[in-house]
């Protein structure tokens, strides 16, 4: 009888501790929509509209943390800042990426996630820890964008128009 009580307590403790504290992409807010897309929806990102050799443009820089506004809503913890200038540069690290499958309707290249903080001295921990908020871009420049590297990205009207190693 005591073994069952201990087992039940252990299972309850495991369930409570496994609830986590991060946000999954399915929990993120989508600009202009009230709820997340269905699970089969494709990734959307800011597309690159220039060649891979086009450098950052030198637009007025803004801090990565100024790209998003944090909310008190746990279901939508942050959203894109509507007060961003039309053209801006931002310094960001490439945190990860996802190859574009041909059936995924992505004609602009692979997807990359940009975050504001870098790996520091522990790349392994940085690369395996989820970072939010993060910006998704779509670029055909897989040879130039390396995970863990910092770049200066130029955006104009919501599109990536150049990047350079910072």
Nearest to 136 by CA among 107, 114, 159, 106: 114
Provide the phi-psi class of 158: left if phi over 0, else alpha when psi is between -120 and 50, else beta.
Answer: left
Query: What pLDDT, in 10s, does the model give residues 76-108?
Result: 888 889 999 999 999 999 998 888 776 666 677
Task: Note the pTM of the prediction, 2 decimals.
Answer: 0.69
Q: What is the phi/psi pair of residue 131, to 5°?
A: -120, 130
d(CA 146, CA 139): 12
Nearest to 42 by CA among 120, 103, 118: 103
Q: Do 96 and 112 touch, CB atoms closer than 8 A?
A: yes
Query: What pLDDT, in 10s, does the model give residues 141-158?
Result: 888 999 999 999 999 998
How far does Cα 154 stand from its chain's mean position? 17
């Amino acid at each position: 009888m005591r073994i069952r009580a201990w087992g039940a307590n252990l299972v309850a403790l495991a369930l409570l501790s496994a609830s986590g504290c991060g946000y999954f992409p399915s929990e993120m807010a989508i600009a202009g929509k009230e709820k997340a897309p269905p699970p089969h929806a494709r990734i959307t990102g800011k597309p690159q509209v220039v060649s891979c050799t086009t450098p950052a443009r030198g637009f007025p820089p803004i801090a990565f943390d100024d790209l998003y506004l944090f909310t008190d809503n746990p279901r939508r913890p942050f959203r894109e800042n509507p007060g961003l200038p039309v053209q801006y540069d931002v310094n960001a690290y490439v945190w990860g990426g996802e190859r574009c499958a041909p059936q995924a309707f992505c004609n602009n290249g692979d997807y990359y996630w940009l975050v504001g903080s870098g790996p520091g001295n522990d790349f392994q921990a940085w690369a395996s820890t989820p970072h939010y908020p993060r910006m998704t871009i779509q670029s055909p420049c897989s040879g130039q964008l390396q995970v863990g590297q910092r770049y200066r990205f130029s955006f104009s009207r919501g599109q990536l128009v150049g990047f350079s190693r910072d």
